[in-house]
Amino acid sequence: MVTLFRPKQSPTAVHDAGHHGHSDAELKAAYERGRREERARHKRSPFMALALVAVALIGGTSLALAAYKGSFSEGGALMDRGVSSAAREAVPTLKKGAAAVQDTLSTEAEPVDNSQPAG
C-alpha cells in the first residue's frame, strides 16, 4: 500500500545550552547581527506600503458598497458616480492652484533693476 501523506518527522535532538561552546553574549550578538542583516536584505518601501493600503481601502469600499446595494454592478455604479463627481470638482481646483503657483513663480523670477542711483 502506498502512503500519499506522511506525518512530519520532528527532530528528537535535545539542545542543551550549556554544551554548545558559545557564551550567551556571543549568541545574543550573533542573533542581533542576523536580524540586522535580514532587515537590510528586506527593506520596505513606504510608497509600496501606501499603495497597498490604498488598494486595500478601495477593495474594502467596493465590497462594502456591493453588500449595501445588493450587487457588485450597483455598488460599482455608485462608486463610478462618486469618482466622476470628485474628478469634475478636482480639475478646476487643480487648475486654480497651478495658476497661482505659476503667478508666484513668475513674480519672483522678474529681475529687479538696481542700475538707477538711489536718491
Please state whether the predicted TM-score (pTM) of the whole model is above 0.85: no
Q: What is the pLDDT along the chain (119 residues), one digit of tens a residue?
A: 566 667 666 666 555 555 567 888 889 999 999 998 888 887 778 899 999 999 999 999 999 999 988 888 888 898 889 889 988 988 899 999 999 999 888 887 665 565 666 55
Q: What is the 3-state secondary structure (H, E, C) of the chain?
A: CCCCCCCCCCCCCCCCHHHCCCCHHHHHHHHHHHHHHHHHHCCCCHHHHHHHHHHHHHHHHHHHHHHHHCCHHHHHHHHHHHHHHHHHHHHHHHHHHHHHHHHHHHHHHCCCCCCCCCC
pLDDT at 10: 64
